Chain A
């Protein structure tokens, strides 16, 4: 049995264990981990009793306001500077143009003349963790739903995702009635290519009255994903009695992220 490092106990206490560390948590002694989390919570409470959030936050918010004002001033200064430089550049170009001077064409003996040297670029494709976040519309705000959060029929959910550097992805969900819904791509025939940036699905979804749970899957890979086969695997999972928790059986080249939401009765 290995001792968990402090940072991992902190994450476990907040339900934010990274995917790469889940095995360490699974292999830890549950009683030891629970005791460590309890101690952390007691320390959190003691710290907030000794140093209440109010005064510290007031200081922080003042500093944030000052920094925002400083940045805004700097942006305005930079814009003014840019306009001045741009204006001067126009004058210089006009003068050089009229005098028949160099027009910026590459020097035939030194084609690289005028190019600035670029630092060596990082060529590693950045790959982080997959992220799939569900938000629920709450009045005029969007509320982020944590793993295990309770949702109700009629709740309006929006999904946001980031493939963590993988080129292809598929988002689908299964529910307690055994239904499978494809969210991305738009249809089984559509390409599964992902962008580099965090993206919102173009539609929100209103939950129906399927019982027990909604479970979302984000599956990603570096090669195109066979949507029909993946949906078959999801249907097989949805038909199992333990579909709420069971693993989705896919080849190891796929990375998976699962988000489980519990279904509460309608209000």
Chain B
């Protein structure tokens, strides 16, 4: 049982050091996992915390690990996109890992997926695809992670698959 009282101020200040110590190593591991390069991962981790501290108000609404994981993933994807524009820095094996399944025959499909993800797809679809294909999240987990309904996630992934099939068909016709 409670006694009602006056409303209290909820402008919760973010303790940057506490946040960094609690989540910094996790963010670094995520970036290293996606980028495969420790220095690049440290650079992106720095950017993740800059973004988070600039958006400190959002931390009051959700578990910090989820927000940090999403920002880290998006910033890593951005980094990979810019790497693709500078071929000398491409780590193609790593890029392939993002979408490759255990089936070796899926490699060409994975290459198409990457092209779509990095060149043509909006960030939201790229994030859903990475979470589902690479992190092996279920559709429900992806939906919860990105704040969409399951049908919204399914719709995005379906559109992505349709584009892939179209691309494959065009390539087959050309061959």
A80 an interface residue at 8 Å Cβ cutoff? no
Query: Is the Cβ of B21 less than 8 Å from the Cβ of A124?
Result: no
- Cα A196 to Cα B148 in complex, Å, equals 13
Q: Inside 8 A of A204's CB, which chain B residues have their CB?
A: 4-8
Q: Please, which residues of chain B bring their CB within 8 A of the CB of A5?
A: 135-137
Give the distance to chain A from B162, nearest Cβ to Cβ, in Å. Answer: 15
Asked if B60 and A156 make an inter-chain contact with CB atoms under 8 angstroms apart, the answer reads: no
A61 with B152: CB separation less than 8 A: no
The answer on a CB contact under 8 Å between A208 and B3 is yes
Is B120 located at the chain interface by the 8 A CB criterion? Answer: no
Q: Which residues of A contact B23 (CB under 8 A)?
A: 14
Interface size on B, residues (CB 8 A): 55
Say how far B24's CB is from chain A's closest CB, in angstroms: 7
Which residues of A have CB within 8 Å of B152? 122, 124, 126
B61 near A61 with CB under 8 A, answer no
**Segment with Cβ contacts to A, from B9-17, B84-92, B94-102, B107-115:** B9-17
CA A6 to CA B72, docked complex, whole Å:
15
Closest CB in chain A relative to B127 CB, distance in Å: 13
Bound form: Cα–Cα A208–B69 in Å: 38
A-B CB pair tally, cutoff 8 Å: 162
Q: Is B155 an interface residue (CB 8 A)?
A: yes
Whose C-beta in chain B lies nearest to the C-beta of A174?
B1
Give Cα A21 to B3, complex, Å: 36
> Shortest CB–CB separation between residue B45 and chain A, in angstroms?
8
A142 CA / B132 CA spacing, docked (Å): 36
Find out whether the CB atom of A10 lies under 8 angstroms from the CB atom of B65. yes
A47 with B25, Cβ < 8 A, contacts A18-B145, A204-B6 known: yes
**List of A residues within 8 angstroms of B137 by Cβ:** 5, 7
A244 to B133 CA separation, bound complex (whole angstroms): 38
Q: Whole-angstrom distance between the alpha carbons of A59 and B25 in the complex? A: 17
Q: Mark A1-31, 1 if CB is under 8 A from B, else 0.
A: 0000111001100101011110000000000
For B10, B50, B54, B141, which residue has the most chain A Cβ atoms within 10 angstroms?
B10
Contact A68 B54 (CB under 8 A): yes
State in angstroms the CA–CA spacing of A20 and B147 once bound together.
Answer: 12
Say how far B120's CB is from chain A's closest CB, in angstroms. 15
Q: Does A202 contact B (CB under 8 A)?
A: yes
The residue that B50 contacts in the complex, of A60, A126, A181, A210, with Cβ under 8 A, is A60
A63 and B155 alpha carbons, distance in the complex (Å) = 38
- Nearest neighbor of A3 in chain B, beta-carbon distance: B136
B1 touches A208 (CB 8 A): yes
**A6 and B9 alpha carbons, distance in the complex (Å):** 37
B151 contacts chain A at the CB level, 8 A cutoff: yes
Residues of A within 8 A of B35 (CB): none
Give the interface SS of chain A, mostly helix, strand, loop or mixed.
mixed
Q: What sequence of 0s and 1s flags, for each residue 41-73 of chain B, a beta carbon within 8 Å of any chain A beta carbon?
A: 000001001100110000011111110010000
* Interface: A205 (CB within 8 A): yes
Residues of chain B lying within 8 A (CB to CB) of residue A19: 144
Residue in contact with B61 in the complex, picked from A21, A141, A142, A162, CB distance below 8 Å = A162
Residue B140 is within 8 A (CB to CB) of chain A in the complex: yes
Asked if A124 and B148 sit within 8 Å, CB to CB, the answer is yes
- CB pair A137–B148 under 8 Å, yes or no, is no
Closest chain-B Cβ to A209's Cβ sits at a distance in Å of: 9
Q: How far is the CA of A5 from the CA of B6 in the complex (A)?
A: 44
Q: Say yes or no for B81: interface residue by CB 8 A criterion.
A: no
Residue on A nearest B73 in the bound complex, by CB: A7
Report the Cα distance A5→B69, complex, angstroms.
Answer: 14
Per the 8 Å Cβ criterion, residues 92-124 of A in contact with B are 122, 124
Binds B, one of A81-89, A127-135, A228-236, A246-254: A127-135
Contact partners of A162 in chain B: CB under 8 A = 61
Q: Is the CB of B61 within 8 A of A205?
A: no
Q: Is the CB of A131 within 8 A of B61?
A: yes
B143 close to A (CB within 8 Å): yes
A177→B8 contact, CB < 8 A: no
Given contacts A16-B63, A127-B150, 5 further A-B contacts (CB under 8 A): A63-B46, A124-B151, A129-B144, A202-B7, A206-B4
The 3 closest A-B pairs by CB, nearest first: A205-B2, A16-B63, A124-B152
